[in-house]
Every structure is written in C-alpha cells, then in structure tokens.
C-alpha cells in the first residue's frame, strides 16, 4: 500500500487510477457492468506540470487545469486534489496500475491532443450513459474505419480513458470507446492492449476511507 503523496510522486502518463465507493449508485454501476470498481481516470505527467488526473465526472468543484475554469464533464485535475476528493468527499477506495514500458514523447503528445479535443465534453445523462454502454458492448470495428479524432457529444469516465489510450496507441481501436467500463481497466478483465504494452497489478493507495466522513453529493452520483 502507498500513501497518496508517494503514489502521486511515482505515477506516470498512462497509469490508471481506479475507485470503488459504497453508495447505492456506486453499487448499481458495479452491478450493471459486473465490475469491481465504479470510476477510472488516467494520469498525465508532462514537463514541469504537477501530475494530473484525466477523467469525467458531474462535479465542477475542482479547477480544470486545461481550461482554467470550473465545469462538469471531461476534466483535467491536479491528481493529488482529485484523489483526495474521491477518497475524502465521495468515500471511495483507490488503486493505481502502472503502464509498462514508460511512454515516450509521441504517446505524451497524443494524450495531450486527446485532452485538447475532449476537455469539456459533457457527462451523459443517466439514461443515455446506460444506453451508450449497452450499445457499446456490441460495437466492434475490425476494419478500423472509425476516426478517433471526432469530438463526441458526451463521454463517461471509462470512455474518456479508452479514447485517450487508443489515440496513444496503447489500447487497440477495434471497438468503440463506449464498449469500455471502469471494470475493463481492472486486472483480470479483458483490456485489448496493443502488443508491447502491459499494466501491473493494482496498488492500493491509502487505507480504506472512513465512509462516515463522506459528504453526499447528488450531482456526482453516476461516475462511470
């Protein structure tokens, strides 16, 4: 187990951050997707910027580093602030998985292009979220005719991470990004990685949070 500061210090671009909560909505997400987690984000660590978390959620409490504003939907946050909010405010347990090998400049540039295209994309409504995911379960594109550079109207957290990793060349793009759910990024699930890439086992970050300290936030109930 790592404390948050140490985990943030060693994280690299492409590393996964996974969260599991205890609310009814968190449990519903895991039940529908048959997954052990209900939220996923990806680390982006470039140049002299602090480590950042790239994900999607309904809250606008944290500053979006890319736009310099507070908004809902797809966002780029200070990683330490985001992890503490998910643990302390939402009462979520957290883990990280490290990508190997370490990404190079080409992958970092691709990740930033994805940020530039997707930052600010809306978080889908609950009904639309479920519909997109269920439709995505059958969305295979073996001939790779889809452009990953189209800006979607809405995106949930797993879709955001998948789109970014596809653009980086880490994850295969033979299926639409809304095929993915948070559990796809947990070890033991089928994550269609491109040859040469792998993720390590989950590393627990911090002790299990005290659920009595979590502050209910109705605007962040659905966090796929």
**pLDDT tens, 64-117?**
999 999 999 999 999 999 999 999 999 999 999 999 999 999 999 999 999 999
- CA distance linking residue 57 with residue 218, whole number of Å: 12
From residue 213, how far is each of 19, 49, 64, 84, 85 by CA, in Å?
Answer: 16, 31, 25, 12, 12
What's the predicted TM-score (pTM) here? 0.84
Using a pLDDT cut of 90, give the percent of the chain over it.
62
Asked whether the beta carbons of 173 and 166 are under 8 A apart, the reply is yes
214 located within any domain: no
Q: Would you state the pLDDT for residue 141?
A: 47
pLDDT tens per residue, range 20-37? 988 777 777 777 777 789
Q: Would you state the pLDDT for residue 82?
A: 97
Domain that holds residue 26: 4-209
200 located within any domain: yes
218 located within any domain: no
Sheet strands side by side (includes 203-204): 73-78, 52-57, 39-44, 16-20, 93-97, 203-204
The CATH number of the domain holding residue 10 is 3.90.1720.10
141 located within any domain: yes
Say how many domains are in the chain.
1
How many Cβ atoms are within 10 Å of 91's Cβ, its own excluded?
A: 22
Q: Would you state the pLDDT for residue 27?
A: 77
The contacts of residue 55 (CB under 8 Å, 6+ apart) are 17, 39, 40, 41, 42, 74, 75, 77, 82, 157, 160, 161
73 located within any domain: yes
Using the predicted structure, report yes or no on whether residue 139 has a pLDDT greater than 60.
Answer: no
Task: Output 136 or 53, whichever has higher pLDDT.
Answer: 53
- CA distance linking residue 34 with residue 1, whole number of Å: 25
34 located within any domain: yes
180 located within any domain: yes
- CA distance linking residue 63 with residue 84, whole number of Å: 14
């Amino acid at each position: 187990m790592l404390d948050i500061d140490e985990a943030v210090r060693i994280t690299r671009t492409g590393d996964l951050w996974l969260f599991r909560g205890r609310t009814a909505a968190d449990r519903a997400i895991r039940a529908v997707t048959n997954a052990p987690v209900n939220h996923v984000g990806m680390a982006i660590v470039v140049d002299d910027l602090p480590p950042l978390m790239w994900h999607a959620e309904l809250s606008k409490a944290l500053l979006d580093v890319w736009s310099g504003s507070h908004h809902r939907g797809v966002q780029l946050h200070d990683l330490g602030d985001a992890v503490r909010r998910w643990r302390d405010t939402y009462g979520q347990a957290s883990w990280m998985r490290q990508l190997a090998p370490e990404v190079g400049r080409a992958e970092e540039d691709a990740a930033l292009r994805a940020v530039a295209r997707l930052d600010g994309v809306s978080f889908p409504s609950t009904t639309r979220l479920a519909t997109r995911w269920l439709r995505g379960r059958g969305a295979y594109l073996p001939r790779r005719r889809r452009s990953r550079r189209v800006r979607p109207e809405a995106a949930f957290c797993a879709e955001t991470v998948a789109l970014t990793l596809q653009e980086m060349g880490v994850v295969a793009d033979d299926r639409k990004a809304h095929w993915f759910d948070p559990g796809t990024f947990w070890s033991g699930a089928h994550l269609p990685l491109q040859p040469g890439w792998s993720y390590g086992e989950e590393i627990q970050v911090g002790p299990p949070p005290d659920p009595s300290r979590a502050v209910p936030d109705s605007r962040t109930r659905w966090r796929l």
